[in-house]
Structure 1
């Protein structure tokens, strides 16, 4: 997750909760990850805060926060594994479309209404299982931002979305001493991934960057879909 927070291999980030859910229930896994995400978000913002796309954030951030509100209202009603399966299926469908019909260099950017809708879905899936990366990527990837600007924009978006989860998670009873203790044990690993990712994302070519991103989304889509159907 730390590596993914810098954009380098960002598709892998959505695997964190499903993998942790092999050992603990999904809500507990999400609660354990939240303090770790706060650390990673702070480090990511420190590295990239000056380089995000302001116009894009004005579009997607309000939608992402709306998604967290929807997630709060539906938490416990819609099983997290159902959400994971849907996100996995959509992720694989998106990758298949991009492989069969690769975007042209002169293709127009996707419509803004699609960005608002996908950002809302991203806020919802991020709230339920910290799996917000794939939905918002469907809109942002075709914009062909430079890797650093893409990373900076995603850092700002998810830092705000993750910060908005604290009060709802506490209200839902997910913030407790046991989960926070586990977070504290894992916390020293968070800066390591971010440190590695910050250095890699500034050195790799855009082509390699987006290929690695797609690989991460492929593996994430397969894992999330498997969680949903097994």
Structure 2
């Protein structure tokens, strides 16, 4: 196993863990694009899913008192349909179109937060918006573990406080990753054996979650959401860049 690949995977998992518990995945699952040049995107997605599931469990335990199924349920139908569609497209369609769609969606949400009049009379967060953002999240997550941005957008529009925002994004991402076990298993992408790489990555997943939670506690609510806006902008810009240059 190439030592450069191992070091890149370790760094990617650590950063992803910090982002998941501290900033609601605000920089995305950076481990996928970091690992993809070495082993391919589909293989990276399959290897990382067990690691992401561990991060999800750890993060849900941290936010267990703030979780609300009622706030998550409007997203569920769109997420399921998005995962089904993403599974059908996996390995068939280029990731660029999905990356561009998620990037543009992120900038639209940022524009609505900056200039509220763009939202018109308001967004129906229980209907079309929930289904659409859930669907985009499902497709993006299945194809590239890039589904956090639509979920962040959905909950940013609801004006939740910092703890509830982190809890709800964590719950939605965890459910999405759990649902993906079915199509990933059917496609033979899962890597649940305790390979040497997984034995290295799992402790780093735990460490990343702990660091992220510590950082989030040190930041007050107003600064936190300002950081979230910047992270959403950076993630959206990066996705658009990937869509253009590959």
Q: TM-score range by the shorter chain?
A: 0.7 to 0.9
Deviations 1:178-226 (A, max 9, x none): 9955333322211111102222323422111111112222221222112
The aligned counterpart of 2:49 is: 34
Q: Of 13, 16, 21, which aligns to 2:36?
A: 21
Q: 59, 67, 73: which one pairs with 2:88?
A: 73
| Separation in 1, partners of 2:138, 2:192 | 26
Is residue 2:172 matched to residue 1:144?
Answer: no
Equivalent residue runs for 1:174-193 within 5 Å: 174-176=189-191, 181-193=196-208
Shift of 1:95: 2.5
Which residue, out of 222, 225, 228, partners 2:237? 222
Q: Match of 1:161?
A: 176
TM, length-normalised to structure 1: 0.87
Unaligned ranges ≥5, structure 2 = 1-15
| Pair 1:150–1:14, CA change in 2 (3 A) | same
CA displacement 1:73-120 (0-9 Å, x = unmatched): 222222223322332233234324433x1579xx85643221122112
| Distance across 1 between alignment mates of 2:96 and 2:192 | 25
Match of 1:59 in 2: 74
User: For 2:30 and 2:170, how far apart are their aligned partners in 1?
Assistant: 18
Map residues 65-214 of structure 1 onto 2, 5 A cutoff: 65-99=80-114, 101-102=115-116, 110-113=124-127, 114-176=129-191, 181-214=196-229
SS of 1:12's equivalent in the other structure is: coil
Distance 1:119 1:185, change over 3 A: same
Q: TM-score when scaled to structure 2?
A: 0.82
Call closer, same or farther: CA 1:103–1:159 in 2, change over 3 Å.
Answer: farther
* CA–CA separation in structure 2 for the residues paired with 1:3 and 1:61: 25
Report the Cα distance in structure 2 between the residues aligned to 1:189 and 1:46, rounded to whole angstroms.
17
Q: How many residues align?
A: 227
Aligned equivalents of 1:85 and 1:39: distance in 2? Answer: 29
Q: CA RMSD in A?
A: 2.5
2:143 and 2:195 map into 1 onto residues whose CA distance is 18
1:4 aligns with 2:4: no
